[in-house]
Amino acid sequence: MVSGTSESLKAELPVEQGHLFLNGDVKTGLVLVDVVNGFCTVGAGNLAPKQPDKQISEMVEESVRLARAFCENKWPVFAFLDSHHPDIPEHPYPPHCIIGTDEARLVPALEWLENEPNATLRRKDCIDGFVGCIEKDGSNVFVDWVKNNQINTILVTGICTDLCVLDFVSSTLSARNRRLLAPLEDVIVYSRGCATFDLPAHVAKAIKGGIAHPQELMHHVGLYMAQGRGAKIVSEVSFSAQPLP
Ligand SMILES: [Zn+2]
């Protein structure tokens, strides 16, 4: 897409982005969506970036920064890991993040989270992590995490802004509105902590059945949709008290 067109579309779909200051006053939980090799590590699989990707690298860096700060403060962290059984494909996607492979593991910079008592890791075999948390008995691992930790706000990072992040945020907001998630009040999406994949129109055209997915624009659309569902969007997250006006 011509960047001028992209800029004018962004202007037509404005996203209000604030600055979040975290000091522990509000019980906040961090939710990491699919920061796994299969989506984030160059060359790791069918849905991994083919070459170094600035938006994805920044998302990983920011997710790691927040995860470290949350764990140092003993604040709750919840991480989704897209993970599929080899015999159960996820249409319309090619095989990816097969259980037992590196694709379905956290990126190297987050592997330490596997042994972190403060973190809850959840493998999910569908796009929407909220749905992926439903157990056979009808209970929901994410709902239990919110309630057990008495979380008032969740801060969401991960990939993809317009797919797994958006679906999780949308379902969580619906569940919150149905009072299924008390005491959860706010769902905050961190824009620089999110990323999506890039499939420019000219590349998609050359692929049978390929549908264009321009990264910058779809990332923006994901944020715009999340905002429309009632999420707050922030472009900065700091760990300090808010400065006095
Ligand atoms: Zn998947």
CA–centroid distance, residue 149 to ligand 1 (Å): 27
Give pLDDT tens digits for 14-71: 999 999 999 999 999 999 999 999 999 999 999 999 999 999 999 999 999 999 999 9
- Residues around ion ligand 1, judged by CB within 5 A, are 82, 90
CA of 3 to the centre of ligand 1 (A): 30
Confidence of residue 5 (pLDDT cuts 50, 70, 90): confident
227: confidence class by pLDDT, cuts 50, 70, 90:
very high
Can you give the pTM of this predicted structure? 0.95
Residue 19 CA to ligand 1 center (angstroms) comes to 31
Task: Give me the mean pLDDT over the 214-238 stretch.
Answer: 97
- Distance in Å, CA 221 to ligand 1 centroid: 21
Instruction: Name the DSSP class of 51.
Output: S
For residue 29 the two structure tokens come to 């939980």
The pLDDT value recorded for residue 3 is 62
For residue 54, what pLDDT is reported? 98
In the chain, % of residues over pLDDT 70? 97
C-alpha to C-alpha distance for 152 and 115, rounded to whole angstroms:
25
pLDDT over 90 (residue 208): no
Burial status of residue 190 (CB atoms within 10 A of its CB: 0-12, 13-18, 19 or more): buried
Ligand 1 centroid, distance to 45 Cα (angstroms): 12
Ligand 1 mean position, distance from CA 57 (Å): 20
CA 96 / ligand 1 centre spacing (Å): 6
Per-residue pLDDT at 116? 97
- pLDDT, residue 16, reads 96
Verify cis geometry, omega within 30 degrees of 0, for the bond prior to 14.
Answer: no
Q: Ligand 1 centroid to 5 CA: how many Å?
A: 31
* 89 CA → ligand 1 middle, Å: 9
Distance of CA 196 to the CA centre of its chain: 9
Q: What is the pLDDT of residue 143?
A: 98
The CA angle 145-147-148, to the nearest 5 degrees, is: 65
Closest to 197 (Cα-Cα) out of 51, 97, 2: 51
Euclidean distance between the first and the last CA atom of the chain, given in angstroms as a whole number: 42
Residue 185 CA to ligand 1 centre (angstroms): 28
CA of 22 to the centre of ligand 1 (A): 31
pLDDT of residue 240: 80
The CA 244 to ligand 1 mean position distance, Å, reads 44
Residue 219 parent element (H or E): helix 215-229
- Partners of 122 in beta bridges: 80
